[in-house]
Structure 1
Amino acid sequence: MTARLQTEEFNLLCERLRDGRLDEEEERVMVFLLSERPELTAAYRAHLPRARASILRRLAESLLREDVLGIYSSSVTVLEGGQTWLQVTLDPALDEFLLIPVGRTYAFRRLEVDGEIRHRFGDKVRPLTHPVELLECLEQKEWVEEGLPQREWLQLARELQNGSANLALAFAYAAEQQVHWQGIAAQVEARTSLQLAESLQKLRADFDASLFFEQMCVEGHNLHPGAKTKMGMEPRDVLAYAPEFQGRPRLRWVAISRERAGWSYERGAGEPNAALFAEWPEVAQGVRMEMERLGLDERDYLAVPVHPWQYEHALRDLYRRELTQGIVVPLPGVMTAAGATSSFRTVISDQAGKKARRLAVKVAVNSQMTSTVRSISRQTAYNGPRISALIRSIMAREPQLAGTFVPVCEIAGFYFQPGEEENDPGLQTLKSRNLTAVWREDVSEHVQPGELAIAGIAYYAESPVSGRTVLEELVEAYAQTAGAESAADAARAFFTEYAQIAVPGFLTLLVKYGIGLEGHLQNSVGVFRAGRPQRLLFRDWGGVRISEERLARQGLQVELMPGSVVLTEEVREMQNKVFYTVYQNHLAEIILQLCKKYDLSEASLWQEIRRISDEVFAELLADPQIAEGARADRDALYHRDVLHKALTTMRLSSREDGYSYATVTNPLLYS
């Protein structure tokens, strides 16, 4: 699409919005609801303004943080009516500006957009109500300042339209569920989601407390404006499978001819279905019967679980030839009940009423969610069990960490291998990534009676019982347990205990063993007892970065599939993985939430992180074998300026050349 056609489409869309009409994505959801879920239509329409405003706010905050088109660095601060505004010039010749209301600024240039964003054209001022309107303004700014637009404004606009429509549906569903959960809470006399989960664990054998919290995060990723984007999915699919709708996908199964299948399983490398029969015997029995019914020899085929959306929408399109040739064979008689986690493509097997082991199953979904199409590479499937074995061996060497910093290990991986006859490189890549699955331990294997496992992404979620965040409920429970004199004291002490568990684990694996874990909130699960942090579970090896050199210094090695991006010779890449996901995403979000609620000094909490980090580095520097690496990591972590992943910049780029970063000031430097 040419730049001028893009501008014309923006104009038409924004004219539609200014006329008070729904956009195409919102209309699509409304048509679905009127046809199939009419009881949600009124709530959906009522929540549209809130959903639009939420995505608009995230977009504005992201654009400012990343300084896209210099909208932060070139803005002028204006004080008016007791409000601080950033005035962003769009076209000086036409006296055209954006006015962005801002509140507090947190570490890593996280500005809080606080109120209604306005567009000023001469004497005329109007509010922006939809993220597309903000993107239209910035596309115009690019025309004025740089000539022909180079950024993919319309691509991002379509993604945010989709996300905004999905979020409105999520808000409508959450309001309905709030009534449901508050009714149950009243019956068991629970005032918080923590108390409700604890009560239901005792009363119902089928209640999964960790899944309850995984599905509580309605708004998704804490920083990404595309947090609710699910491109290519119909509203029916979103409502059926997404975690915020308590999605209950029933996994489907296919058999892949042994010659074109790959698998990774420590305890039975020779037989394709060894993992299935050892780890999931009840499911294996159904698979075996279905294979026999279809005349398939289980020794010649690998059974692989498939997400139901993938089974219905991607299987026949991508594997048409293989289906015709009997290389890929659907097993229609086998379905496995599961619950969607915060990751969407990772589901927890539902074995209610049975004694079978529960597994987390990560399956490919060929739909873009946030920034990435959620397919899975062969390398991820092959490497998972091997990285798990490596991490287990490391934790055996680190008993002081092992009790509180616990890996949720990947047990087995399965994947399709395209044949040599596939001469289309693009299709070959798609085929190699879309019949892939990874089996992981369920977090419940690491939780004791009286404890709650809460995924980090739920910390800032609104409790359906109290209306406060889960983090606030944890601090309240901590205050009662620890006997804190005030809520602020409890918040500070809670954070210190949490950080003392998290920081040593992530830093030790980085510095000593060269393993850069992707420790963001979705991959981190806190385990709490009466509000007190007990352990931190860490999971998902797909995004880790490993230095073979540092591993070798400890007498360790790991055999991974050739072409794995996990292995890196770039120390900076490994450092960035930890510094961004752990410090800038994970810890920074907790600090922000605590400061907003309890009016704490942000600097004092970063000083606490600096103190804990210093203690870990001091211990690591005492080992001459790793002192050089420890100094390099410490200097990088404490550098004045640090790189912050530029999520929106990447969505605006037409190139797929890895990560983009913005440079921001480091709060640890001054702590």
Structure 2
Amino acid sequence: MTHPDAEQTRRALLESRPDLVDGFDEHLPAARAAVLRRLWTALRREPIPGVAGVKTVGGDALVTLTDGRMAIGPALDQYAEASPDVRIRVQVNGGTGAYADPAELLNAVDPQTQGLQRELSNSVANLALARTGQPSVDLTELQGDPNGLAVLEQSVVDGHPLHPCCRTRLGMSTADVLAYAPEHRTPVELEVWSVPPSRWLTTGAGTPPRLVLHPWQAAHYGDDLRRLGGRPVERIVARPLMSLRTLAAARDPSRHYKTALGVQMTSAVRQVSPAAVHNGPLVSDLLSRLAADLPIRVFPEVAAGAVLVDGAPHPMLAYTVRRAPLPQAGDVWTPLAAVAQPDVLDQILRIGYGGHPVAFWRDLTTVLIPPVLTLLARGAGLEAHGQNLLVRLAYGRPAEAGYRDVGGIHLHAGRLREAGMDLPAVQGSLVTDGLDELRAKPFATLFAVVLTEIAHTLQQRHGADPQTLWRMAADLAEQAPDPRDRLALAGTTLPIKATTAMRLAADPVADIWTPITNPLAGV
């Protein structure tokens, strides 16, 4: 398997893309600092093995390890751009080492973490490459453009704002990353394979026995598929979106293909599980009916298919089809992750608000918070992070919310019944009986991550008062339909996924949560 670090990436660029070497070298120190900041934040707040306690003294954070040693570094804000000069000092071998490289820092804290160290090094290399040669995005040119959503998705170069593995692509070479990653904007030819009908499972609206396969996947699984009787019959030119393995058809941008991809990105290898094939259309229908009277548009998974191997759907030979929005004149649909980018946010404020951040925040939170909390009250806890949650900008102003990807939501049978809905026969771990678990998804994603990141940028770049921003958000939260949700949102903490602790856990895909200070409290 290929997991290039910065040195290996640079060598690959010298051989195949020497025009990118100078840009890669320029961006590497800041990319290393950005991943270090994410890791240092995780060490200070997540339940990381080997960490015994954390305290802040002046402008420094002190992390005490279980073996009595100490790590010392600046108490960086979770969204601040870390300086390449930042060093984290760790007591080691009777002395103190100073670390700017996240993998070296993790090794100093715990040498038994070689797997995550490799992921961090790969993340640094790919982040530096992602930041190399990025074009600017002009929102006014994208208004009414059916490809505008894809363009904005491809502009999100830094990936997950908090995950140290924000740009990990384990298994992909540098050439693969340049060919397939969205930030490099290369069109991808999906392969359509004919499959024997006896080996085909489909759900939803149904599809003929045709498997849509990512070309990386075809290169690695094509021989297996041929032995099963498959053969390539067609190609679909598509644009890779934020998740890399989901792509928008060039001829029909309203059609998104979510493919299986045997590559680890952030926290998991990106398969399309049997549960996802089964659940997608069912849960999409349920969520669409739950939201029928709400100002949020659900983009459904209309069909799914998988190849049967030994009688069971194979998670690496499967895909789903999702509908995507098409804009009207003056409209741009965008994921919230793109809105959080400083350059895009600057343009929104200029186009729609004459530079006034508070008016924008008022409209954004009014569009997002009520429908998400109403769906929570009705039994659907959305995973409303910056990739799944969309907003329609009408001449620069937030006008409508959108939601996609039902695979990560939680459903509560009791609340669904109260809303007049039956729980569909879903597979996997979507259903929960616990209200805290149900709330964790939207509380963590919408409030603790997406809105917190945007509020930070509005404060840092546009002088917005955070108390004013969060008071407006709290006023909307206090209108949540269920009083138990209102009470939970008024608490002193919110949950957030402990992504680094999850990578170090025995089961790296099981959710682990950690509390952070609730910005809605006390405003």
Q: Which residue in the other structure is 1:40 paired with?
A: 20
Using the alignment, how far apart are the partners of 1:43 and 1:455 within structure 2?
27
Counterpart of 1:433 (choices 315, 323, 328) is 315
When residues 262 and 599 of structure 1 are mapped into structure 2, their CA distance, relative to the original with a 3 A threshold, is same
Counterpart of 1:508 (choices 374, 380, 386) is 374
Q: Which residue in the other structure is 2:300 paired with?
A: 409
Q: Which residue in the other structure is 2:110 paired with?
A: 139
Q: Which residue in the other structure is 2:172 paired with?
A: 233
Q: Which residue in the other structure is 2:227 paired with?
A: 324
Q: Which residue in the other structure is 1:86 paired with?
A: 61
* 1:345-360 map, 5 Å: 345-351=245-251, 358-360=254-256
* 1:175-214 map, 5 Å: 178=135, 193-198=138-143, 208-214=147-153
Q: CA contact under 8 A between 2:34 and 2:81: conserved in structure 1? A: no
CA offsets 1:88-113 (integer angstroms, 9 cap, x no match): 456998xx75431235x57xxx7885
Q: CA contact under 8 A between 2:51 and 2:66: conserved in structure 1? A: no
Count, aligned residues: 519
- RMSD of the alignment, in Å? 2.7
Counterpart amino acid of 2:246?
T
Shift of 1:69: 5.8
Counterpart of 1:535 (choices 400, 405, 408) is 400
Using the alignment, how far apart are the partners of 2:28 and 2:253 within structure 1?
41
Name which of structure 1's ranges 222-231 and 385-394 shifts more when overlaid on structure 2.
385-394
Shift of 1:656: 4.2
When residues 324 and 586 of structure 1 are mapped into structure 2, their CA distance, relative to the original with a 3 A threshold, is same
When residues 666 and 478 of structure 1 are mapped into structure 2, their CA distance, relative to the original with a 3 A threshold, is same
Using the alignment, how far apart are the partners of 1:160 and 1:59 within structure 2?
9
Counterpart amino acid of 1:544?
I
Shift of 1:219: 0.8
Shift of 1:633: 2.4
3-state secondary structure, aligned to 2:304: strand
2:424 is the counterpart of 1:559: yes
Unpaired runs of 5+ residues, structure 1, are 1-22, 79-83, 141-151, 182-191, 274-301, 421-427, 462-467, 481-486, 621-629
Unpaired runs of 5+ residues, structure 2, are none
Using the alignment, how far apart are the partners of 1:92 and 1:565 within structure 2?
37
Which protein shows a greater Rg? Answer: 1
3-state secondary structure, aligned to 1:342: coil
Counterpart amino acid of 2:319?
A
Counterpart amino acid of 2:7?
E
3-state secondary structure, aligned to 2:421: coil
3-state secondary structure, aligned to 2:33: helix
Using the alignment, how far apart are the partners of 2:81 and 2:492 within structure 1?
22
Counterpart of 2:154 (choices 215, 223, 226) is 215
Counterpart of 1:260 (choices 199, 213, 216) is 199
Q: Which residue in the other structure is 2:213 paired with?
A: 306
Counterpart of 1:632 (choices 469, 481, 484) is 484
Q: CA contact under 8 A between 1:29 and 1:165: conserved in structure 2? A: yes
Using the alignment, how far apart are the partners of 2:50 and 2:57 within structure 1?
14
Q: CA contact under 8 A between 1:116 and 1:127: conserved in structure 2? A: no
Shift of 1:172: 2.1
Q: Percent identity?
A: 28
Q: CA contact under 8 A between 1:256 and 1:416: conserved in structure 2? A: yes
2:107 is the counterpart of 1:168: no
Please identify which structure carries the higher strand content. 2
Q: Which residue in the other structure is 1:664 paired with?
A: 516
When residues 70 and 378 of structure 1 are mapped into structure 2, their CA distance, relative to the original with a 3 A threshold, is closer
When residues 39 and 225 of structure 1 are mapped into structure 2, their CA distance, relative to the original with a 3 A threshold, is same
Using the alignment, how far apart are the partners of 1:560 and 1:586 within structure 2?
31
Q: CA contact under 8 A between 2:492 and 2:518: conserved in structure 1? A: yes
Using the alignment, how far apart are the partners of 2:66 and 2:484 within structure 1?
46
When residues 73 and 665 of structure 1 are mapped into structure 2, their CA distance, relative to the original with a 3 A threshold, is farther
Shift of 1:413: 1.1
Q: Which residue in the other structure is 2:411 paired with?
A: 546
Shift of 1:470: 0.8
Counterpart of 1:393 (choices 282, 285, 289) is 289
Shift of 1:367: 0.8
2:273 is the counterpart of 1:368: no
When residues 498 and 76 of structure 1 are mapped into structure 2, their CA distance, relative to the original with a 3 A threshold, is closer
Name which of structure 1's ranges 577-586 and 218-227 shifts more when overlaid on structure 2.
577-586
3-state secondary structure, aligned to 1:448: coil
Counterpart of 2:495 (choices 636, 643, 648) is 643
Using the alignment, how far apart are the partners of 1:55 and 1:383 within structure 2?
35
